[in-house]
Chain A
């Protein structure tokens, strides 16, 4: 059963492009199976292999489902569902029989794209989306069977896609967004990035090589100086001698923070899969949907799984606030976990010194006892803080913060650990701050009477450069291998850096307008347009604006000037012109508006001796030019006949188009 299908290569190419992100993400055997199925369909379409019968197709469908079930087993999740769907879409071309089958197959291609989109909202996925949809559209045009060149179909598809983009933009911005999903289920989980609610030593230094962006911040007020760029994430209360944990019950709302040094800014947060938002230390209030807790953490009810944007006001010089109901929890400590350290802290507090003096003593200890800021901290096995404080004395911010909070608690000063970021570089193209995972940081907050909760950063004592020039400069030479590498590149490195800034600026725009677009953003945009969806009249207004914009676009498309017909004639056209020129030499001139058959009729009337040849050439030309049935053999015959068509000159009447009555124009 061999039945070549000329459309199949295009359908398969479009499906392959649509499936490309899946091939990179799904297990290799799924990708391999999908590609093999596609290649087999291609071979069958070219007549090199038989089409599988019904039994075979059913068998393969069963096999595919079975394989996926075996591979994923009980852990059948979204990825498994995507794998099944992709393999089904790969099997579908094998049962194409009718034009409708082709259409259904290509429609599955659009859904293959859809399933790929749920895995990432990166800018590159946006480019993939438009490209893959364009190619599928070209295949859709192709299967209409109007013939012509593949490149022509692609060009038309590109034109359609380009015209679709403004429509997409209007609908994207104005289509009503809701808070919450249609049904209760279905929010997919995302990989957690950055730190978590648990600080184990080594947790943050692990992030140093991770240059992924944590968030971007656009300031309306002046960008704070490097030393003040503390980005607050989550606050940890419980310490078991080795790890710090969040360890608080239901979050209580805190009152507003007042103070000096107000900064107003918007954060574009990358999804990190955690329950908090980032803010410049200290946020004075919470954005809609979030809660500012007593310990100044911005809690959100669900993990951040999509890019978010929110605007905040922070104060860098807060006024003293209340200690809060849980201040006593900031003293809970088990001194026996690290007895040597505990003894040190008790000595500091023995003379009844005030909290501020104890803090100063602790910082002096870090500054004078030969501590080294380093990623290469030796492993701390038994009594980790004792080992760190009295033996290794090499560590990263997490070591210092963890140790300081412990020491302060033993000394009777309430203290807690804050996890967040410190730093951020200004993108010169976008004017915003970029904060990366590698800038993750940990510091301590201590309750000092008359000052309230006060930020104390022991890292700044050990390595002042960490706070002013960033992680890379603060670390001892050679701990980050790629830094010296970059130095070798010299000016090229600068160029690469600038290119990186540019790309990030584009990406930030994407995050701002596409990936992070939300109900709130839409409210803001509509507000700027003077519209609101709060009332029925407002909804009507938005609808009218959308319809008017779409109508304007359609009107413009209807009145776009027609594409100029291609100027370069193809071979068929060239041969026919040559034929017409030969006839012109013997006195039958073809005016441009005359159809081929009308011309042929006039020519035959003028030169009956050439009748059969003229009619044959005209028939070939018309078939090749206007009918889908023209073959290579027809073209060869046309070529041969035109080349040998040399009518002898014979005195005759010159026939113009308005000369003797033409044969009725048969076209």
Chain B
């Protein structure tokens, strides 16, 4: 199941928002100015030569411009921005911002959605349909990335006018830390008893069993091998809810941001290998578990972690 973090709304411009007369602006484009030039030349010719056919052309062009203006305006009038959201991403990767639009009663061709800091995407909306326009927003730092203002615009139908509305959804996108591969001292942390006093290197050693193909080599019980007793593998306690606790204080890295990144990588690594893990951060403890929800909880905690002297949020 995909996990998506939907917009956090903070009152100011609640979504869904339907574009209405107050919010819609319209101005001629550069193409529109070229068209106006053609119209002006035609009108001057008509007046100068007193030529009724030229008058007709000039006024037909004026009529077209006016009709195009109305069509462009109606193309956005009544369009609803129903929601905005984004899947969390790792810092440095682009966030895909999904803007959901509901067409309402009419077809809405060539609707362009842009963010302040991101490239735009264009969409043809069908009447009575809802569609999501996805825009890539570059990310650099972990934490909450404000999506910023959203500009819904259209140059439909002739490109002579640009109609637009600006919406500030007050939404933000969650950016996980950038994972950083680094070797960690194995099995940091305790079984998560919550003492907050975890010494390094304590393993929840349970016993040994005869080696089976596939057992990790680092779990080999070297002592018995050295004694010539055969190959045995160490077994660790795998009770549910227990397991390795990834401990902030145990990461041998002085820079807090890199430490966050290393822990992030460790979380992903554990999740991938289906080894349960917990997370101990300054002021917060997440008990060991497994699963995507758990992974998200841990990564979110890392994303929001504010460290003294660090550059995090």
Contacts and interface: CB of A to CB of B under 8 A. Distances in A.
B138 interface: no
Interface stretch (B105-113, B205-213, B219-227, B246-254): B105-113
Interface string B114-158: 000000001111111111111000000000000000000001111
Given A144-B159, A146-B124, A557 B70 contact: yes
Contacts, number: 197
Nearest to B41: A111
A663 interface: yes
Given A557-B70, A666-B98, A114 B54 contact: yes
A667 B98 contact: yes
Interface stretch (A192-200, A365-373, A437-445, A558-566): A558-566
B27 interface: no
B9 interface: no
Contact of A664 (B6, B105, B126): B6
Contacts of A203: none
A117 B57 contact: yes
A164 B106 CA distance: 21
Given A628-B122, A666-B2, A167 B67 contact: yes
A123 B102 CA distance: 47
Given A595-B132, A626-B123, A164 B110 contact: no
Q: Which 5 A-B pairs have the closest CB atoms?
A: A667-B132, A164-B63, A167-B63, A562-B106, A117-B53
Interface residues of B, number: 67
A133 interface: yes
Interface residues of A, number: 75
A168 B60 contact: yes
B56 interface: yes
Nearest to B67: A163
B130 A144 contact: no
24 contacts: A100-B30, A103-B31, A103-B34, A107-B37, A107-B38, A110-B42, A110-B57, A121-B53, A129-B57, A129-B60, A133-B60, A146-B110, A146-B124, A161-B60, A161-B64, A164-B62, A166-B63, A182-B48, A306-B51, A558-B73, A562-B127, A593-B128, A626-B125, A663-B2
A172 interface: yes
B84 to A, nearest CB: 11
Interface in B56-93: 56-57, 59-64, 66-68, 70-71, 73-74, 77, 85, 87
Interface string A614-644: 0000000000001110000000000000000
Contacts of B53: 117-118, 120-121, 125-126, 129, 515
B143 to A, nearest CB: 21
B67 A160 contact: yes
Interface string A133-162: 100010011011011100000001000110
Interface string A157-188: 00011011111110110010110111100111
Given A130-B60, A178-B47, A182-B44, A554 B52 contact: no
Given A168-B62, A562-B106, A160 B71 contact: yes
Contacts of A562: 105-107, 127
A184 B156 CA distance: 42
Contact of B132 (A169, A306, A666): A666
B158 A137 contact: yes
B193 interface: no
Interface string A63-96: 0000000000000000000000000000000000
Interface in A527-563: 550, 553-554, 557-558, 562-563
